[in-house]
Amino acid sequence: MSDLNASPSSRYQRVKTILNTAAEGGDANYQGYGKFWELPLEQFLNVEIYGIRMIAPGPDASSSTAAAPVQGGCCHHAPKPAAAAADPSGKRSAASGLIKGLYGQYPFDGSQFPRLPWGGTAVAASDIDFIAQWIDDGCPAEDENPDLQRLNAQRRARALGDEAHPLASTSTNAQRNDNSAPIVRKNINSLSDDELRRYRAAIAKMRTYDQFFLDERSFNWWARIHANNCQHGWEEFLPWHRLYLYYFEQALRDIDPTVAIPYWDWTDNYDQDQTAVTPDSGVIPEAFRCWIDAQALVNLQGKIPDTDLEKLRTIEGQTYNSGNRLFTAAGIEYQENSAETIAILAELQRVNPLWTDKRWPGGNNNLLFEDYPDTDDIDHILDIGNFFNFGSGPSANHFFGAVENVHNLIHNFSGGINPANPNETGYMVSPGTTAYDPIFWSHHSNVDRLWAEWQDRHPGNNPDNPNAVLPPWAQNVQETYSIAEFGYEYMKSSHYYPTDNSQGMVRFTSEPAQTPAHVIDKHRKAEVRLHHIRYAQRGGLVRVFLNQPGADSTTPTRGNPAFVGQFHLFMGSCVGGEGHCAEPPDHKRPFDRRPRHRKTASHLRFDATATVQRLLEQGASDFTVQVVTLDIQGQPADDVLFLRGVALNFFD
């Protein structure tokens, strides 16, 4: 949150600070205005972007607006929405395009425009509320920031450990972007409501381009790449799909830079009741299921018989693993080409862009479910020491490896067979159609995760031909070995606490992580990570604890079940002139080919797996994090540790 990293002298200055921080990394033109909030205040208050008034007129304002050239695309111009109108709430802020855009409300919900700021990161809800109150108070230019004294006291209290740091209000990847850290591909069952909403919105936005066959931003354009180029049954299976996911993810991040492809850990569904011997009987993650919401019932009025509308009303909000099962539960006949069925399917697609009607997960358990992987199966696959037995054979002797075998099974399982037509299979069953199903991307994200985990266990064990190019991209096999080079990593769940890096951290303590039970019950590894530690003028020692309220320099480490670990920081006085050891910018200038700056901020990782297990055995149900900073003499220090955040992470 911006209130921990800036001390503006007025509310107006703080508004600009919030927006500038969120817009970092973006270069949106906004119809020629650029960062319109940096215009002189009078012009800022009159800015219209594509016809939308950013600050709604006040009760006594004139209707004049500042002019700027309108810039359209090369092929299709976006429709011009109406200017901001009065809001039923009567609040000026609620009618302002800026507030609607920051909250991701229509038309900034992906239907016409992405969430504001374009190309930047989402603004915390508390900061949006602050901007809204400033607007409702008349957008004053010079009033003092009434929160400044409180914020300064809060910063100091948190740095001393007298007040707990709250969880971040923004998504994991919004924080990662702020810290110039790799983005996180999470377990899809661990996405926050906002993260899942953003992922769905990005997929929905891609689908709006499907009508343009050659538009590379469209969902179907990417699906056709797999149909025409996919590699299976030999050593390029894993490298090719890693590139495929990476480039698809970049297209998603062009829409929303906080989005990453979540993975589907197949073992999450293993314990479900999957014992039927009929088609369309399997269980998939809830994020991919279908359901009817209140808006669907409104939209279907007049399109389907009232009797069927009432049947749908009885199952409102209930999720189903396939459209067929939803129709059956509602007691409505599925007629493939009827107007009623088409209308209902369209609403299911609108409600959840991750669903498709060409998916009937499951099958005969005597043929499929007996091989559905559990955690032991995955561990056995990860223990295979030979790349080809794990990931598929070399070009001179190509064959399917163990991970591709289970990958094939999940394709057939999740696509399934249409119960009404045994000759029709789901999209996932065929390589030519599989990527048209959104579950494909999370399925293959999990395959890629398993390869990354296997690489950690078996370093240097790679395919035969590292120089083979992977069309349609220019990279070769060797260039796919490191996911870090592609700027992402995999996590089951992440809990992030932002800190103020202008304050030396003497003692850090956190509020509870609110770790979901399914994460606590089923994780492989836990860690504490300290983000973006900047160079200080002297070294020291950092100690990390879990569930150790009041941890300080006297808290014992040996024999302490709450102790995670410690790290020695090697830093010292500057050898140059003023600014020589200043923290470098997060992003280098374009075309700056010099190596990494010697004072680039770093990160610390502490393996907390054993500590978490010890605390769980003692009855813990959630976790707090404590960090203690000492100088080299073992005394509390406020000039050693300057960081942007602390995270508690869990891994499958």
Q: Is residue 359 part of a domain?
A: no
Residue 5 has pLDDT above 50, yes or no: no
pLDDT at 275: 54
Report which residue type is found at 403. Answer: V
Please give the average per-residue pLDDT across 69-76, as a whole number.
Answer: 43
Please give the average per-residue pLDDT across 191-209, as a whole number.
Answer: 95
Q: What is the CATH number of the domain that holds 637?
A: 2.60.120
- Assess contact for 285 and 266: CB atoms under 8 A: no
Residues 602 and 515 in one domain: yes
Residue 406 has pLDDT above 50, yes or no: yes
Residues 253 and 313 in one domain: no
Q: Which long-range contacts (CB under 8 A, 24 or more apart) does 307-311 make?
A: 308/332, 308/340
Provide the number of structural domains found in the chain: 4
Q: How many CA atoms lie within 13 A of 290 on its CB side?
A: 27
Residues 40 and 59 in one domain: yes
* 3 state SS of 152: helix
Write down the mean pLDDT value for the chain: 88
pLDDT at 6: 45
Residues 28 and 54 in one domain: yes
Residues 532 and 444 in one domain: no
Q: Is residue 166 part of a domain?
A: no
Residues 85 and 101 in one domain: yes
Residues 294 and 246 in one domain: no
d(CA 607, CA 345): 47
pLDDT-derived band at 155, boundaries 50, 70, 90: confident
Strands (E), 165-250: 183-186
For 649, residues 6+ apart whose C-beta sits below 8 A from its C-beta are 491, 493, 494, 495, 526, 527, 528, 529
Q: What is the CATH number of the domain that holds 412?
A: 1.10.1280.10
Please give the average per-residue pLDDT across 338-364, as a whole number.
Answer: 93
pLDDT at 166: 94
**Percent of the chain predicted with pLDDT > 90:** 69
Residues 430 and 453 in one domain: yes
Instruction: Compute the radius of gyration of the chain from its Cα atoms.
Output: 27
- Assess contact for 16 and 37: CB atoms under 8 A: yes
Between residues 301 and 572, the one the model is more confident about? 301
Residue 195 has pLDDT above 50, yes or no: yes
d(CA 45, CA 42): 5
d(CA 346, CA 409): 29
Structural domain harbouring 106:
2-146
Q: Note the pTM of the prediction, 2 decimals.
A: 0.78
